């Protein structure tokens, strides 16, 4: 007698837990031949609000961790993904990838995570400055995370796109509420399992699945979201930009997933300039 | 020595105006020429000190803006994008030098047109404006060092709209990085303070900058709106109110236009009980009364540790009593005229609200000039966190005072604002300074000082105070792809 396969239930990821959508709704993800591959949570605006609330609380402690520690955690994500790479290859193949392309995709994603892991404790050294002001002050500018970033992944999203856009956000100390691709949601949820076993504190990354048409609005109008990362080709781009005006969210249009670089991190950083007087009394000179 | 100085009389020391050259009527500076506005309309620029007429200024309409943008676009393609970065830099150096040579005249005109004390125009506005151009001139041929491993292409035509609080300085903040990075410019000064921007156009002309590289169009809000909406403008740089900043964001949504917005603020100035109090009191005074409080980063919310509140407030009132309020051209003047009757109304509206809300109000006991737009330096004591006075930007010489007991409490209160432009911290303890400066959500933090500016120092806000930075290396980024 053949063994009955145990099917996986795909749930959403909020605050380090895997709840079902509070709405109780689902949709069927299908492959290119229209064959259903899984039931996926159809998240609601309430799920977005829950996720934002939790991401807000998680952001401060994440920012306050040492940059070195964030680097270690990101590297840990790469380690765990490497160990589970065959699962991701299979899942990508369910979504019509060839085995070769799926393998390449997973390997590239792992390497991309390692790349941003290395940036965590370096980007601020490269992008900050000590400013030679004319008055007797010590003056320097450093980056600080913009805060909570809403990430709307493009519909073509695969594993590589997800990590390419997510990693620079969290490397810089931001928390994130991520709306997965409606067409390719499987790897996003399985990736949440990787995050959850990689010492990423609960709430730093929250992953929702569902209809982008329904979810872009609660995310881009939420007053506790500081910035949005949106696909340049998103049909909702203009609406999102308009919605973002209310609290002046920074809306960043995505660079290609093929690119990696410092700018992907600094796009989600503020710059803070600090001044302090230099006491100049007594008349001692700095000459030898 | 007695500290009662109420009866000290200052002899008048009014700066002369005989040496300044103002035209009776200014056209628009488009494509290197002074042209009459197609609107055929002019408006009067007046002195807020005595409401005297200073000059007629052209009111640019949509067609005028179109002509200026087209000139800027042509100059970008034909000239400015073709000359070497080093030559570009030399033009900016030359403009900076010519400004330095005419600094005195610029300072007097600035004071006349805006109402700011001549002491501030002469010692702060004008030198900083010159230095800003001088600073960015040197960047023009060094952009590779600023952003290694990144693309560095100019954006094209930058539409720049500036406010009335630091007229020439804001013009320099806008023009200098735009030119250094190879963009061309259409600049609109505020309607109440156009004159120094028009003098700058004369200097730019004298410097021989290729026609169309900088165009200066004067007018009101609709002129600015026409610049923002113009399809050939690829970059919008705006300094002004958060409300207008949001309108601009809405206008450019769905387009490829880039924007930097320097908007309002409600900045916290925090005094701990271990602070050097006399210096802190000077810092509070400078923080809120500098330029009549017409400063986006003004330290308009004072937080004093509870156990020293009485002492600080007593010292503050005493210090305020010795402020000299009056003719901006008098070299003794600390507080000049409010920029316009409209702004004076706004400030008085907030003062009325404060009185009605019942917080204790203190105003300097002094006579104000009979004419012109003047406002007494004002304190509101024991203001509630929820008060309109503690939440909304007043943009005038009005300070709210709140007290706090613990560091955590003051961080929460200071950050409890939609704005995030600047903050001040006063304490003698270094580790406490860094605790606060790293937790305050603000783009500029002054520790044991306030309201300091420098061309090398990036300036700009968090949250609803806008985005993008001006000044320093980071100020270049806003003008590059």
Task: Give the pLDDT of residue B61.
Answer: 98
Q: What pLDDT, on a 0 to 100 scale, did the predictor assign at position B433?
A: 97
Q: Is residue B55 part of a domain?
A: yes
B 143-182: CB under 8 A from A:
149-150
Touching check for B473 and chain A: CB below 8 Å? Answer: yes
Task: Assess whether B30 and B158 both reside in one domain.
Answer: yes
Taking the CA atoms of A209, A36, A254 and B249 in sequence, report the sign of the dihedral they define.
negative
Active site includes B56? Answer: no
Could you give the CA distance from residue B230 to residue B376 in angstroms, rounded to a whole number? 42
Q: For residue B409, give the CATH number of its domain.
A: 3.40.309.10
Across the interface, whether the CB atoms of B464 and A245 are under 8 A apart is answered: no
| Phi/psi of residue B214, nearest 5 degrees | -125, 125
Number of H helices, E strands in chain A: 10, 10
Task: Let me know if B62 is exposed, middle or buried by CB neighbors in 10 A (0-12, 13-18, 19+).
Answer: middle
Residue A179: inside a domain, yes or no? yes
Nearest Cα to A140, choosing from A122, A118, A124, A123? A124
Assess if residue A6 is contained within a domain.
no
Question: Please, which residues have CB within 8 angstroms of residue A208's CB and are 6 or more apart in sequence?
Answer: A12, A13, A14, A21, A41, A43, A47, A48, A51, A177, A178, A179, A180, A215
Give the pLDDT score at A287. 66
Q: Average model confidence (pLDDT) for chain A?
A: 94
B40 with B68, same domain: the answer is: yes
- Within 8 A of A245 by CB-CB distance, chain B residues are 246, 249-250, 253
Distance CA A286, CA A272 (A): 29
Examine residue A217 and state whether it is found in any structural domain, yes or no.
yes
DSSP lists the bridge partners of residue A270 as A144
Please report residues of A whose CB lies closer than 8 A to that of B446.
Answer: 274-275
Would A10 be classed as within a structural domain?
Answer: no
Residue span of the structural domain in which B165 resides? 25-263+465-477
- Rounded Cα distance between A51 and A29, Å, is 22
- Is B194 found in the same domain as B146? yes
Closest to A46 measured CA to CA, from A24, A17, A23, A13: A23
Same domain assignment for residues B116 and B198: yes
In this structure, are B108 and B160 located in the same domain?
yes
The ipTM estimated for the assembled molecules is 0.95
Total number of domains constituting chain B? 2
Strand order in the sheet with A227-230: A205-208, A175-179, A148-152, A227-230, A250-253
To the nearest whole angstrom, how far is the Cα of A272 from the nearest Cα of chain B? 4
- Residue in A closest to B444 by C-alpha: A273
Instruction: Assess whether B63 and B147 both reside in one domain.
Output: yes
In a domain, B196, yes or no: yes
Query: Is residue A13 in a domain?
Result: no
Min distance B90 CA to chain A CA atoms (Å): 22
One digit per residue, the tens of pLDDT, for chain B of length 481 reads 344 555 667 899 999 999 999 999 999 999 999 999 999 999 999 999 999 999 999 999 999 999 999 999 999 999 999 999 999 999 999 999 999 999 999 999 999 999 999 999 999 999 999 999 999 999 999 999 999 988 889 999 999 999 999 999 999 999 999 999 999 999 999 999 999 999 999 999 999 999 999 999 999 999 999 999 999 999 999 999 999 999 999 999 999 999 999 999 999 999 999 999 999 999 999 999 999 999 999 999 999 999 999 999 999 999 999 999 999 999 999 999 999 999 999 999 999 999 999 899 999 999 999 999 999 999 999 999 999 999 999 999 999 999 999 999 999 999 999 999 999 999 999 999 999 999 999 999 999 999 999 999 999 999 999 999 999 999 999 999 9
The tally of domains found in chain A comes to: 1
Q: What range does the domain containing A46 cover?
A: 26-277
Whether A288 is covered by a domain: the verdict is: no
B80, B122, B236, B304, B338 from B192: Cα distances, Å? 31, 19, 21, 36, 11
Note whether residue A283 is domain-resident.
no
Determine, yes or no, domain membership for B409. yes
Q: Which residues of chain A have pLDDT under 70?
A: 281-283, 286-288
> Distances from the Cα of A182 to the Cαs of A33, A96, A258, in angstroms?
16, 15, 21
Asked whether residue B248 falls in the same domain as residue B312, the answer is no
SS3 B241: coil
Kindly report the CATH number assigned to the domain that includes residue A221.
3.40.605.10
Nearest-Cα distance to chain B for A133, in Å, is 6
Q: What is the domain-level CATH number for residue B32?
A: 3.40.605.10
Q: Pairing between strand B301-305 and B398-404? A: parallel
Considering the domain architecture, whether residues B95 and B121 belong to the same structural domain is answered as yes
Q: What is the pLDDT of residue A134?
A: 96
B97 shares a domain with B31: yes
SS3 of A141-184: EEEEECCEEEEECCCCCCHHHHHHHHHHHHHCCCEEEEECCCCC
CB-based burial label for A212 (10 Å; 0-12, 13-18, 19+)? buried
Q: Please write down the HEC assignment for all residues of A70-92.
A: HHHHHHHHHHHHHHCHHHHHHHH
pLDDT for residue A1: 72
Residues of B in contact with A141 (CB under 8 A): 457-458, 472, 474
DSSP summary character for residue A230? E
Name the catalytic one among B191, B262, B393, B464. Answer: B262
Write the pLDDT tens digit of every residue in A47-95: 999 999 999 999 999 999 999 999 999 999 999 999 999 999 999 998 8
C-alpha neighbours within 13 Å on the C-beta side of residue B136: 33
Q: Which of B15, B130, B296, B297 is catalytic?
A: B296
Q: Residues near B50 by Cβ (< 8 Å), separated by ≥ 6?
A: B369, B371, B372
SS3 B212: coil
- Our CA-based measurement puts residue B61 at a distance from the nearest CA of chain A, in whole angstroms, of 27
Whether residue A248 and residue B261 make contact (CB cut-off 8 A), yes or no, is: yes
Give yes or no: B296 in active site: yes
Residue B12 covered by a domain:
no
Which residue from B116, B108, B105, B107 is spatially nearest to B48, judged by alpha carbons?
B116
Locate A164 and state its tokens.
């390419």
């Amino acid at each position: 007698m053949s063994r009955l396969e145990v099917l996986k239930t795909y749930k959403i990821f909020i605050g380090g837990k895997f709840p079902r959508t509070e709405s109780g709704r689902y949709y069927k993800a299908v492959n290119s031949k229209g064959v259903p591959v899984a039931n996926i949570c159809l998240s609601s605006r309430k799920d977005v609000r829950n996720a934002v609330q939790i991401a807000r609380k998680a952001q401060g402690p994440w920012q306050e961790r040492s940059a070195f520690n964030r680097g270690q955690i990101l590297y840990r994500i790469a380690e765990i993904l490497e160990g589970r790479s065959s699962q991701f290859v299979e899942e990508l193949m369910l979504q019509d990838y060839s085995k070769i392309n799926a393998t390449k995709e997973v390997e590239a994603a792992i390497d991309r995570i390692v790349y941003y892991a290395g940036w965590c404790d370096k980007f601020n050294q490269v992008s900050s400055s000590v400013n030679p002001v004319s008055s007797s002050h010590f003056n320097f500018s450093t980056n600080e995370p913009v805060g909570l970033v809403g990430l709307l992944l493009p519909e073509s999203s695969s594993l590589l796109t997800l990590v390419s856009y997510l990693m620079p956000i969290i490397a810089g100390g931001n928390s994130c509420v991520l709306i997965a691709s409606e067409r390719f949601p499987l790897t996003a949820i399985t990736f949440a399992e990787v995050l959850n076993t990689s010492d990423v504190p609960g709430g730093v990354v929250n992953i929702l699945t569902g209809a982008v048409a329904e979810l872009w609005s609660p995310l881009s109008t939420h007053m506790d979201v500081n910035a949005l990362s949106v696909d340049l080709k998103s049909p909702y781009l203009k609406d999102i930009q308009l919605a973002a005006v209310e609290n002046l969210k920074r809306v960043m249009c995505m660079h290609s997933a093929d690119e990696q670089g410092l700018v992907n991190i600094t796009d989600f950083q503020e710059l803070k300039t600090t001044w302090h007087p230099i006491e100049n009394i007594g008349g001692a000179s700095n000459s030898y | 020595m007695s500290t009662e100085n109420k009866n000290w009389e200052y002899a008048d020391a009014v700066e002369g105006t005989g040496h300044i050259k103002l035209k009776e009527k200014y056209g628009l500076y488009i494509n290197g020429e002074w042209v009459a506005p197609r609107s055929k309309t002019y408006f009067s620029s007046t002195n807020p000190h005595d409401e005297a007429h200073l000059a007629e200024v052209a009111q640019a309409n949509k067609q005028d803006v179109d002509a200026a943008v087209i000139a800027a676009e042509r100059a970008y393609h034909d000239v400015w994008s073709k000359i070497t970065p080093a030559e570009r830099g030399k033009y900016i150096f030359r403009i900076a030098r010519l400004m330095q040579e005419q600094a005195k005249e610029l300072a007097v005109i600035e004071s006349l047109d805006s109402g700011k004390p001549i002491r501030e125009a002469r010692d702060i506005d004008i030198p900083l404006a010159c230095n800003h151009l001088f600073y960015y001139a040197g960047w023009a041929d060094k952009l590779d060092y600023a952003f290694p491993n990144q693309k560095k292409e100019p954006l094209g035509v930058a539409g720049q709209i500036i406010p009335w609080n630091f007229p020439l300085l804001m013009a320099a903040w806008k023009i200098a990085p735009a030119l250094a990075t190879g963009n061309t410019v259409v600049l609109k000064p505020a309607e109440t303070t156009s004159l120094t921007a028009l003098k700058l156009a004369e200097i730019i002309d004298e410097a021989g900058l290729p026609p169309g590289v900088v165009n200066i169009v004067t007018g009101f809000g609709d002129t600015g709106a026409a610049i923002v909406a113009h399809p050939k403008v690829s970059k919008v740089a705006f300094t002004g109110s958060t409300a207008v900043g949001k309108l601009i964001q809405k206008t450019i949504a769905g387009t490829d236009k880039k924007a930097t917005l320097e908007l309002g603020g409600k900045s916290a100035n925090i005094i701990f009980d271990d602070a050097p109090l006399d210096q802190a009191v000077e810092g509070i005074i400078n923080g809120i009364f500098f330029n009549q409080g017409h400063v986006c980063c003004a330290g308009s919310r004072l937080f004093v540790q509870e156990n020293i509140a009485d002492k600080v407030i007593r010292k503050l009132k005493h210090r305020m009593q010795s402020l000299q309020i009056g003719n901006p051209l008098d070299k003794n003047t600390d507080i000049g005229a409010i920029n316009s009757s409209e702004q004076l109304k706004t400030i008085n509206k907030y003062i009325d609200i404060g009185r009605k809300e019942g917080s204790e109000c203190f105003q300097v006991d002094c006579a104000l000039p009979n004419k012109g737009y003047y406002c007494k330096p004002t304190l509101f004591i024991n203001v509630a966190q929820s008060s309109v006075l503690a939440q909304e930007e007043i943009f005038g010489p009005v300070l709210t005072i709140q007290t706090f007991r613990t560091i955590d409490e003051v961080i929460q209160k200071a950050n409890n604002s939609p704005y995030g432009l600047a903050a001040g911290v006063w304490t003698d303890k270094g580790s406490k300074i860094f605790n606060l400066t790293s937790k305050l959500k603000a783009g500029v933090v002054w520790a044991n000082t306030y309201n300091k500016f420098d061309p090398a120092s990036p300036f700009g806000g968090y949250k609803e105070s806008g985005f993008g930075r001006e000044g320093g290396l980071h100020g270049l980024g806003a003008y590059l792809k």
